[in-house]
Chains A and B, each alone.
Chain A
Amino acid sequence: MLPEDRKYSKEHEWVKAEGGRGTVGITDYAQKQLGDVVYVELPEVGKKLSSMQVFGTIESVKAVSELFCPVSGEVVEVNGTVVDKPELVNSDPYGKAWLLVVAIENEGELSSLMTAAEYQVYLDQEGTG
């Protein structure tokens, strides 16, 4: 089941908005596609990101994948724990493996992202397409 307290992007990131701040991570589907995650590279606090800008890299043993920020804003926190323990992305993608927090610049951007139900439909289509 997909957590319903957040929004989802077509690139398989999630963002959970609370009090003007958005916590960003990748979805369970994304971590399964990647396989064992062994490396995560995140930006510095203070970096300004526009929506769908690349903010980092995530690597499994076999693949390199770019991370896209679903909403615009300044990075106010990054998860150092996941940098030291990349395997958390596989074991807890919606929890301990959050990647960063941005100060959301434009709450309106959230409405263009998918709800859990919409993302599920999107995944079902990807699976069969």
Chain B
Amino acid sequence: MSTSDSPLKRTPLFDLHRELGARIIDFAGYEMPVEFGGVVEEHLRVRTKAGLFDVSHMGEFFVFGAEGESFLQKLTPNDVSRLAIGQAQYSALTTETGTFVDDLLVSRTGESRFLVVVNASNVEKDFAWMESRRPSGASLVNASDDYALLALQGPQSEAILRPLTDVDLGAMKYYRFAQGRVLGEAATVSRTGYTGEDGFEILVDAGAGEKVARGLLERGASRGIAPIGLAARDTLRLEAKLALYGNDIDEDHSVLEADLEWIVKWQKGDFVGREALARQKEEGVARKLVGFEMVDRGIARHGYPVFASGSPSDTVTSGSFAPYLKKNIGLAYLPAASSAPGSEIEIDIRGRRAKAVVVPTPFYKRERK
């Protein structure tokens, strides 16, 4: 929860959310829709049809200039040099100890021009972190307030968007993007998302956000689209085991501990935190982020104590009822010895020890065509 005195910010879609009956909460300093109808119904709609999310609160930075690429190479563990124009990659800003300043998406929009999308709650921290490490040959601009970002997610997404854009969606692979028009407005359309479903994220000028959102909802109605709130976004990403900054990843846990070694490209050269991560890899990580499923009744929630082999371990980083799987699931950092699937652990649910078992993740994986 925000405790600052600064007034809450609103995205360009705020009025539309109100009109659509959203319940509004404070999230990362923004007044955001948490649910429109019911979180379970919204969650299932995204798994089976399509949903539209307002993620305009997220931060957008532009990086450009002759040293733009080497600047990002130095700050992130993934290999920016591998990105073609029109390609995006999941990565992170890492600390010297290999933990997370933030997780983010880097897209190459030009030869030496990049779009970096960061978490809303970290916009100021990330910008300061990057700015203080920026070489003179790279420029960094925080354009977060200039854009609306919409996420269209679910199996019907391509069918809904295809007639409304000149971007060739059929040819667009996962983690690729293209610039074009959506409902007549200049847009960057990427095949990305945070739900475990196929779908697109659509970046438009702030002033065009409401028009594009309304158009998508109207024109997609026959295919079952509806607006989706942050509550379902959270349960959807958890089923897909997509990490949430502040819950599952933070400045106290390393990229390797978070089970995200795939974003570390060891061959690419130096980056902030490389040395610490390389040492960790050699020695082996002491704890690892794993998924668990409740065996006993009860819902494990963020912050609940975890016991592995009878000893207090870390706490639950994320936990919820999973609406599609209809199970109670969660994530926690566990000692390496207790992190294999099948390991039995206990969660302290408000004073009661409830059994849970480590399971393979993601909990949910869509069937790909």
Contact (Cβ within 8 A) B350 A57: yes
Contact (Cβ within 8 A) A62 B231: yes
Question: How many residues in B have their beta carbons less than 8 Å from beta carbons of A?
Answer: 17
Q: How many angstroms between the C-alpha atoms of A38 and B34 in the bound complex?
A: 17
Is A64 in the interface zone, CB < 8 Å from B? yes
Contact code string B94-136 (vs A, CB < 8 Å = 1, else 0): 0000000000000000000000000000000000000000000
Contact (Cβ within 8 A) B350 A62: no
Contact code string B218-236 (vs A, CB < 8 Å = 1, else 0): 0000000000000100010
Q: How many angstroms between the C-alpha atoms of A86 and B323 in the bound complex?
A: 13
Q: How many angstroms between the C-alpha atoms of A90 and B41 in the bound complex?
A: 13
Interface residues in B297-354 by Cβ distance below 8 A to A read: 297-299, 301, 320-321, 323, 328, 350
Q: How many angstroms between the C-alpha atoms of A41 and B354 in the bound complex?
A: 13
User: Inside 8 A of B180's CB, which chain A residues have their CB?
Assistant: none
Contact (Cβ within 8 A) B231 A38: no
User: Inside 8 A of B39's CB, which chain A residues have their CB?
Assistant: 35-36, 60-62
Q: How many angstroms between the C-alpha atoms of A60 and B41 in the bound complex?
A: 13
Q: Give min CB distance, A55 to chain B, whole Å.
A: 14
What's the A-B contact tally at a CB cutoff of 8 Å? 39
Q: How many angstroms between the C-alpha atoms of A41 and B301 in the bound complex?
A: 16
Is B208 in the interface zone, CB < 8 Å from A? no
Interface residues in A2-46 by Cβ distance below 8 A to B read: 35-36, 38-39, 41
Q: How many angstroms between the C-alpha atoms of A114 and B235 in the bound complex?
A: 37
Contact (Cβ within 8 A) B40 A38: yes
User: Inside 8 A of B297's CB, which chain A residues have their CB?
Assistant: 39, 41
Contact (Cβ within 8 A) B301 A61: no
Contact (Cβ within 8 A) B298 A61: no
Which of B38, B299, B301, B350 meets A35, CB within 8 Å? B38
Q: Give min CB distance, A36 to chain B, whole Å.
A: 4
Q: Which residues of B contact A (CB under 8 A)?
A: 34-35, 38-41, 231, 235, 297-299, 301, 320-321, 323, 328, 350
Contact code string A52-92 (vs B, CB < 8 Å = 1, else 0): 00000101111010000000000000000000000100100
Contact (Cβ within 8 A) A36 B299: no
Q: Give min CB distance, A11 to chain B, whole Å.
A: 18
Contact (Cβ within 8 A) B34 A62: yes
User: Inside 8 A of B34's CB, which chain A residues have their CB?
Assistant: 62
Contact (Cβ within 8 A) A61 B235: yes
User: Inside 8 A of A90's CB, which chain B residues have their CB?
Assistant: 38
Q: Give min CB distance, A22 to chain B, whole Å.
A: 26
The 17 sampled A-B contact pairs (Cβ below 8 Å) are A35-B35, A36-B40, A36-B41, A36-B323, A38-B299, A38-B321, A39-B298, A39-B299, A59-B299, A59-B321, A60-B39, A61-B231, A61-B235, A61-B323, A64-B301, A87-B40, A90-B38
